[in-house]
Amino acid sequence: MSSAPDTTRTNLLGLQKTDLESFVGELGNKPFRARQLMNWLYKRGEGDIAAMTDLAKDFRAQLLTCAEVVVPEIVKTQIASDGTRKWLLSGGNGQAFEMVYIPEEDRGTLCISSQVGCALDCSFCSTAQQGFNRNLTTAEIVGQVWLANRELGWKVGDDRILTNIVFMGMGEPLANFRAVVPAIRIFLDDLGFDISRRRVTLSTSGLVPQIYKLAEEVNCALAVSLHAPDDELRSQLVPINRKHNIAELLEACWHYLDEQNGRSVTFEYVMLDGINDQPEHARGLARLLRDKPAKLNLIPFNPFPGTNYRRSPQAAIEKFRDELTQRGIIVTIRKTRGDDIDAACGQLAGQVTDRTIVRLGSKTFGLQVRA
């Protein structure tokens, strides 16, 4: 394992099972070699090809000439008073992105990034202020989970430390569809990290066509950043709404559940003082979500330098929740974690120095979504 990618070698962490089978096939080997490799990589956390001792010697020698296991380099580690950990990871060329580990009594969640920066320009999100630099590769996405396991001291035979993975770090995962989908497959694959489909959550700001595509490709939990009950307000907060409105978005969500036999979609709702936290907003939300397979997760706004928004007072958040529960909506209030190290939702800023694409809200909706 190293942290300096060699472009002439293939990073094994970027290959889902079928790709790994093709890769070993091209080297003249049988598909079971791919399973052996996955066992070393994901069941044993081994990153050193030379140490993969039950691989045939000549196969190992072959791999050493053309393959590698590379994870993002750690630039900085911070540990919050509540045990939350945040790592700043290098994306090369002075760019950096973040991942966060959130320990709870009954689970360990890793919040991972899918892009360096973000182009979606949601007005209350710190990552948006950074602009967009680039998509992460599948290897960089999978590498975050691999690396977190190592950093957290996981060893073969131990219980899992990471039970849940959420795409709630930097970036819009559906705007990096090509790299994110194979990564999710590796998380779910029983030869990979073998995490249950209800414990891998993709959170999106609402890229409707990609939600339909996702429904065809993988089966994981879906979270959607709703943040407003009507199009006028949502378009101010989440500019992609001007392209795909709430009605279209909800349609896509129900389609996703139908296709995937899913139980519910989690709708995230950031609580912004005086903006979207009034009783009429709660009533509007209840009208949208009543009798639907939906859960609502209220996120107290996490401030960052330069923002004009304020967090709704706790009493307002609880009142908002009560308005909704009275109308039969399942609501939870997200506990703020790691805010003393800026590791809470929407505080991840990484280091985006070279913004190659303008932010979505500033000018254009010509967002490049390659899939």
Q: Which residues are catalytic?
A: 98, 345
Token pair 């907003």 is found at 281
115 binds ligand SAH (CB under 6 A): no
110 binds ligand SAH (CB under 6 A): no
Binder among 16, 36, 144, 205 for ligand SAH (CB under 6 A): 205
Binder among 47, 192, 229, 346 for ligand SAH (CB under 6 A): 346
Q: How many residues bind ligand SAH (CB under 6 A)?
A: 17
3-state DSSP call for residue 263? Answer: coil
Query: Within positions 288 to 327, which residues make up the interface with ligand SAH, using CB under 6 A?
Result: 299, 301-302
Positive or negative torsion for Cα 167, 348, 154, 103: negative
Complex with ligand SAH: residue 38 or 118, whichever CB lies closer: 118
Among 23-31, 74-82, 86-94, 199-207, which window interacts with ligand SAH (CB under 6 A)? 199-207
Complex with ligand SAH: residue 90 or 114, whichever CB lies closer: 114
Question: Closest Cα to residue 185, out of 227, 211, 220?
Answer: 220
User: What is the DSSP secondary-structure string of 86-114?
Assistant: EEEEEEETTEEEEEEEEEETTEEEEE--S
Complex with ligand SAH: residue 195 or 296, whichever CB lies closer: 296
Binder among 345, 349, 352, 360 for ligand SAH (CB under 6 A): 345
Complex with ligand SAH: residue 36 or 347, whichever CB lies closer: 347
Please state the closest distance from residue 48 (CB atom) to ligand SAH, in A.
33
- Residue 7, C-beta contacts closer than 8 angstroms, at least 6 positions apart: none
| Structure tokens belonging to residue 316 | 């307002």
Please state the closest distance from residue 279 (CB atom) to ligand SAH, in A.
21
Please state the closest distance from residue 313 (CB atom) to ligand SAH, in A.
15
Strand 132-135 relative to strand 115-117, pairing: antiparallel
Residue ranges of alpha helices (H) inside the chain are: 17-26, 32-38, 57-66, 126-129, 138-151, 177-188, 208-217, 231-237, 246-260, 279-289, 314-326
Window 241-260: contact mask with ligand SAH (x via CB under 6 A)? --------------------
The C-alpha atoms of residue 204 and residue 182 are separated, in whole angstroms, by 17
Question: Closest Cα to residue 345, out of 166, 207, 181?
Answer: 166
Instruction: Give the chain's radius of gyration (CA, Å).
Output: 21
- Residue 18, C-beta contacts closer than 8 angstroms, at least 6 positions apart: none
Please state the closest distance from residue 59 (CB atom) to ligand SAH, in A.
40
Please state the closest distance from residue 332 (CB atom) to ligand SAH, in A.
13
203 binds ligand SAH (CB under 6 A): yes
Among 39-47, 78-86, 118-126, 212-220, which window interacts with ligand SAH (CB under 6 A)? 118-126
| Structure tokens belonging to residue 237 | 């907060």
| Span between the terminal Cα atoms of the chain, in Å | 30
Binder among 124, 132, 146, 256 for ligand SAH (CB under 6 A): 124
Please state the closest distance from residue 302 (CB atom) to ligand SAH, in A.
4
DSSP 8-state code for residue 76: E
Please state the closest distance from residue 79 (CB atom) to ligand SAH, in A.
21
Q: Which residues bind ligand SAH (CB under 6 A)?
A: 122, 124-126, 168, 172, 203-205, 225, 268, 270, 299, 301-302, 345-346
